[in-house]
Structure 1
Amino acid sequence: MNISRSINFFCIVVGGLIAFYANAEQKQNTYLLIVGIVLLMLGVYRTSRNIPSKSEKPEEPFVKTEMKDEI
């Protein structure tokens, strides 16, 4: 596992734990919740940035139409 993927995973896990902890307290700490959500979203963004897009070639339709023979 390379260092970039490790950082992404770390951000997602730590951000989720911080957000969960900040939300679970009786008196919620808003700033801690914001920091957790920002870390979580940063990790998700960095991970999704590395996922390749679908192929660029045009897709064929799922249902193909049949050519009717003219008589």
Structure 2
Amino acid sequence: MNVSKVINYTCVVIGGTIAIYANAESEQDTFLLVGGIVVLMFGIYRTSRNIPSKYEKQEEESFIKSEPIDEDETR
């Protein structure tokens, strides 16, 4: 497994754990909750940055095929 993926997943797990812990207490610690959400979102951002776009190769995978037009047929 790539080191970058390990960092991404670790940030997501640690951020989620901190956010749940900060929210579970009877008196919520706002700074701890915000910090956990920031770490969680940082891990999600780094993970989603490596996912390729669905529309990246749109021109190559087109179902519409064009045929060459002969000039003799158009007249």
TM-score range, shorter chain: 0.7 to 0.9
Deviates most, 50-59 or 20-29: 50-59
Structure 1: which 5+ residue stretches go unaligned?
62-71
Query: Which segments of structure 1 move beyond 3 Å, counting only runs of 4 or more?
Result: 58-61
Which is greater in Rg? 2
Deviations 1:9-52 (A, max 9, x none): 00000000000000000000000000100000000000000000
Structure 2: which 5+ residue stretches go unaligned?
65-75
Residue 56 (structure 1) aligns with: 58
Deviation at 1:56, TM superposition (A): 2.7
Is 1:44 the counterpart of 2:44? The answer is yes
Q: What is the root-mean-square deviation in Å for CA atoms of aligned residues?
A: 1.6
The residue correspondences of 1:1-71 to structure 2 (distance < 5 A) are 1-54=1-54, 55-57=57-59, 59-60=62-63
Structure 2 counterpart of 1:31, which letter? F
Query: How many residues are paired up?
Result: 61
TM-score, normalised via structure 2 length = 0.75
